[in-house]
């Protein structure tokens, strides 16, 4: 099988508008949760979110083009552009073997809500001609492919909160199995809207805590729901010999991928963690890795009562006696939950954790939970050697995805 390496990274997140900014915030344990500014929350139950901050999109994209796309597409284009520039790669020579897989859990939610308002006010024949290409979830992948001239596989994974990890894993397999040389993989989401927050509030999924430092608190006994985040993450995956031939810098190597389904409930994970455990075992088998070799897991860790307890059980099932030795933190404590983009951003963070031998913290942790009793790297990150790391994503519908990243040698 061919080896697949990571040669470029791009990100727009609640803790940084570039990968270097995001990584510095991760190392510092910065919290990106804050009061919602996009609309008046006076009469709303949920007051905080992980908004992208101080990003002037007109510095990156033409003003006229911005009016034709939803914010999730803009986030994806900005992150993909950073990743391509970081990789210093041109696709002209073999564009038919270069592609894009960009996930979005919901797609253009703001465009959908605005279009409905226009239709009701002015008649539905007056809805913008850009409404459909603005809201459909595949358009981030399509626009990225158009901008960079990628003529290979172009796809959008829609597996809820597992989508970003599925995108990276699917791109990895395409390259490893000989169907592509380079893939831009990741996810993008922009669901901090009145409709998005209201719908998740009705589902009783979101934290209603008004203190930003006590809202997204994975594995803490006082956790009471996730915090919505937004942004995008894109990784350039490349076949090793292709990367070496052009003298590319290499961040790390993707070596294993697992994906399965709980087939249990539309929103709730299996409480015993068995589905997620099998997914992690699939990734380890795929990468020919023993549980004792993995030093760090970037957990799905949403700060919901069911997820954190179930994921702890899953790691214990998958890792056995080695579970007590693995560090497992949730960087959603800093970013909030970016839905379909979360796995992509967390793949970037995990890659940098391996490259830099640094285990990110689970910040704002105060109250231990006896049912979440693994080493969650509480409050302060650690300078510690990391050769192998895993990143987990678990989505509504029972979707599970795990990838394994190895230090490149």
Residues tagged active-site = 161, 300, 337
CA 301 from centre of chain: 12
CA dist., res. 203 & res. 153, Å (int): 35
The candidate with the shortest Cα–Cα distance to 13, out of 63, 70, 100, 82, is: 82
CA dist., res. 59 & res. 253, Å (int): 32
Q: Where are the alpha helices (DSSP H) in 152-273?
A: 163-176, 194-202, 240-245
Name the one residue in this structure whose structure tokens are 């994975």.
Answer: 218
CB atoms within 10 A of CB 255: 22
CB 48 within 8 A of CB 33: yes
User: 3-state SS of 294-345?
Assistant: CCEEECCCCCCHHHHHHHHHHHHHHHHHHHHHCEEECCHHHHCECHHHHHHH
Q: How far apart are the first and last CA of the chain?
A: 17
CA dist., res. 190 & res. 184, Å (int): 19
Q: Where are the alpha helices (DSSP H) in 88-188?
A: 109-122, 131-135, 139-148, 163-176
∠ CA 11-17-20, rounded to 5°: 70
Residue 162 DSSP label: G
Backbone angles phi, psi at 132, to 5 degrees: -65, -55
SS3 8: strand
Structure tokens at 75: 């986030």
Handedness of CA 76, 79, 85, 88 (dihedral sign): negative
CB 54 within 8 A of CB 17: yes
∠ CA 396-401-406, rounded to 5°: 150
């Amino acid at each position: 099988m061919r080896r697949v390496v990571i040669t470029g990274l791009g990100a727009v997140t609640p803790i940084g508008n570039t990968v270097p900014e995001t990584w510095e915030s991760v190392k510092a344990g910065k919290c990106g949760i804050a009061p919602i500014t996009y609309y008046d929350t006076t009469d709303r139950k949920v007051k905080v979110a992980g908004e992208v901050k101080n990003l002037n999109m007109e510095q990156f994209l033409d003003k006229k083009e911005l009016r034709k796309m939803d914010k999730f597409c803009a986030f994806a284009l900005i992150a993909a552009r950073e990743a391509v520039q970081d990789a210093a790669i041109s696709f002209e020579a073999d564009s038919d073997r270069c592609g894009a897989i960009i996930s979005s859990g919901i797609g253009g939610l703001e465009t959908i809500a605005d279009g409905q308002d226009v239709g009701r006010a002015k008649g539905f024949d007056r809805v913008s001609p850009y409404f459909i290409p603005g809201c459909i979830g595949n358009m981030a992948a399509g626009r990225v492919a158009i901008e960079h001239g990628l003529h290979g596989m172009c796809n959008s994974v829609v597996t809820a909160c597992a989508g970003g990890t599925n995108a990276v894993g699917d791109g990895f397999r395409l390259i490893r199995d000989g169907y592509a040389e380079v893939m831009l993989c990741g996810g993008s989401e922009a669901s901090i809207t009145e409709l998005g927050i209201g719908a998740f509030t009705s589902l009783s999924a979101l934290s209603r805590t008004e203190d930003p430092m006590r809202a997204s608190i994975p594995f803490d006994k006082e956790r009471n729901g996730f915090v919505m985040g937004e942004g995008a993450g894109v990784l350039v995956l490349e076949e090793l010999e292709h990367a070496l031939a052009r003298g590319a810098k290499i961040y790390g190597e993707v070596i294993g991928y697992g994906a399965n389904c709980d087939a249990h409930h539309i929103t709730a994970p299996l409480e015993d963690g068995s589905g997620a455990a099998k997914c992690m075992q699939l990734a380890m088998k795929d990468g020919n890795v023993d549980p004792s070799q993995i030093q760090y897991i970037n957990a799905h860790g949403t700060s919901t009562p069911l997820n954190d307890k179930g994921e702890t059980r899953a790691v214990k099932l998958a890792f056995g006696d080695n579970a007590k030795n693995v560090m497992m933190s949730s960087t959603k404590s800093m970013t909030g939950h970016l839905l379909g983009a979360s796995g992509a951003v967390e793949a970037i963070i995990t890659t940098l954790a391996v490259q830099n031998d640094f285990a990110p913290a689970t910040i704002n942790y105060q109250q231990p939970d006896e049912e979440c009793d693994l080493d969650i790297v509480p409050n302060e990150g650690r300078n510690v050697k990391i050769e192998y790391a895993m990143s987990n994503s678990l989505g509504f519908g029972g979707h599970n995805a795990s990838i394994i990243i190895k230090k490149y040698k």
